[in-house]
Structure 1
């Protein structure tokens, strides 16, 4: 929240750069009221002061983001690595269980005797559905879940971006 606010303040400072520099110039030079020109060197110095203030503000935002990043880089890296590993393990498990099911389906079952055919048929029924790991026993770790996570993340990003753009009006 604080970082978003600071970016909005900086954006407003840039948006009102000429108004602020004009006000500063007139405070320093009240005798030039009504005769302000962009070619006036003192006015250009006031613009420079306002731009330097924006640069300093941006530097402070970068410092704040640096502290934020320092505090979160290892926990975020751990979460990212664990999340990636869990999704990868779930997808590998899904693909390999489907490969086993396909291999069993295409076996030369007709060469087997009746008890082995029954055993094979029971095995086929048992592995008919792929083995899917679940996170917390609730969320299936499969490609659909991964796709849903990516879509949700992108939707959240778009909502945040739209809210940020609406705040400019």
Structure 2
């Protein structure tokens, strides 16, 4: 277990409390961030291994099943659909486990509220922003897993009933080597010749449906919550830049006493005031560095899962549309429509978050330029120049380091 201890060396009570506060038990259920403390370590390791091996087994059986269907485009596309989701799930599980230390680093940053200004700056809108985000998180935390589970329920329970009512029920237990008595017909490594084996195969499919739904939902939640936290920090940074002179003026009054304070415009030639302005700029730089670090972690965690989601999503959308227009099976059309909505929704969420972070970070350069920097001394102007050079590079996400993640990509 030394290997596990080394992986989990940076995790402490603060990190675990932040994970529970933000995501409840969703990260544990999805095996994206399992509890590796001694009390839970064995259970968590077994959970992750079982998830991973089941996903690999399911992927192999789905790919074999897709090749075994003859002249049945509906079942073939269904198998390919779910195989695509399984590939994405495997990549997500791999990335979050390999880069666990990065995610721990982010949780610690979030637990420490990113950055606290020593000048006592408090945003006028922070409480409202955080309250709105909290409401959104609760809604997403409830709705998203339920929708994925509903899709799994449709495939497992509703589809067979609808097929039976339409007369599409397959009477044979086997076609080629495919066992057809399951919600998603599969090639199994054993022959099903009694009820016990049938229920075993059925239970395996139910477990896989829950596994796929929980992992994809967990990854969506992580990306949404992470992205919105960074968005709030960018808004706070923007407001602190806008209020930079007021922040400095407040500190100047505290140091010199209210009776000795001059008019703000008269302070531009006061070296003490200029030093405070420079200090405020440096605090903004420190805040921005922490935001950039958090964004880099987000980009590292999402780089390959988003690339897989884009590639698989494009294929699934095409296959879903083909299945909807080419079949008379309502069950197949319903399932394809649900998969279509999942993929379009996922791609929209990813692109919307990427666009939001790019726009907010790009706007910081304008806000800094819009200050009264021309009235400041040479030292302050130099700090502004250095800071603005960094702000010219906005926070840009990309899938696999190649495809920009923004609304333009979503539109194409």
TM-score of Structure 1 vs Structure 2, range by shorter chain: 0.5 to 0.7
1:5 aligned onto 2:203 = no
RMSD: 3.8
1:116-135 equivalence runs, <5 A: 131=326
3-state SS, counterpart of residue 326 of structure 2: coil
Q: Give 2:249's aligned residue.
A: 22
Question: How big is the shift at 1:2?
Answer: 2.0
Contiguous gaps of at least 5 residues in structure 2: 1-227, 361-412
Q: 5 Å matches for 1:1-169? A: 1-30=228-257, 32-34=260-262, 36-88=266-318, 131=326, 137-139=335-337, 149=344, 153=348, 157=352
Go from structure 1 to structure 2 and tell me whether the alpha carbon gap of 1:135 and 1:22 turns closer, same or farther (over 3 Å shift).
farther
Counterparts of 2:241 and 2:333 in 1: how far apart (Å)?
Answer: 47
C-alpha separation in 2, matches of 1:90 and 1:16:
51
C-alpha distance 135-28 of structure 1, shift in aligned 2 (>3 A): farther
1:9 is paired with a residue of what secondary structure?
Answer: helix
| Larger Rg, first or second structure (1 or 2) | 1
Bigger RCO (CA 8 Å, 6+ sep): 2
Aligned match of 2:407: none
SS in 2 for 1:139: helix
Match in the other structure for 1:109: none
Is the 8 Å Cα contact of residues 320 and 337 (structure 2) preserved in structure 1? no
The Cα of 1:140 is off from its aligned counterpart by 8.7
Displacement after TM superposition at 1:81 (Å): 1.0
| CA distance in structure 2 between the partners assigned to 1:85 and 1:66 by the alignment | 29
After TM superposition, give the deviation of residue 29 of structure 1 in Å.
3.2
Q: 1:97-139 CA distances to partner (integer Å, 9 max, x unpaired)?
A: xxxxxxxxxxxxxxxxxxxxxxxxxxxxxxxxx636x687331
Cα distance between partner residues in 1 of 2:284 and 2:251: 15
Shift of 1:79: 0.8
Cα deviation for residue 44 of structure 1 reads 1.3
TM-score by length of 1: 0.53
Q: Given the two structures, how large is their TM-score scaled by the length of structure 2?
A: 0.24
Structure 1 runs not aligned, ≥5 long: 95-129
The separation in 1 between residues aligned to 2:256 and 2:333, in whole angstroms, is: 68
What is the number of equivalent residue pairs in this alignment? 117
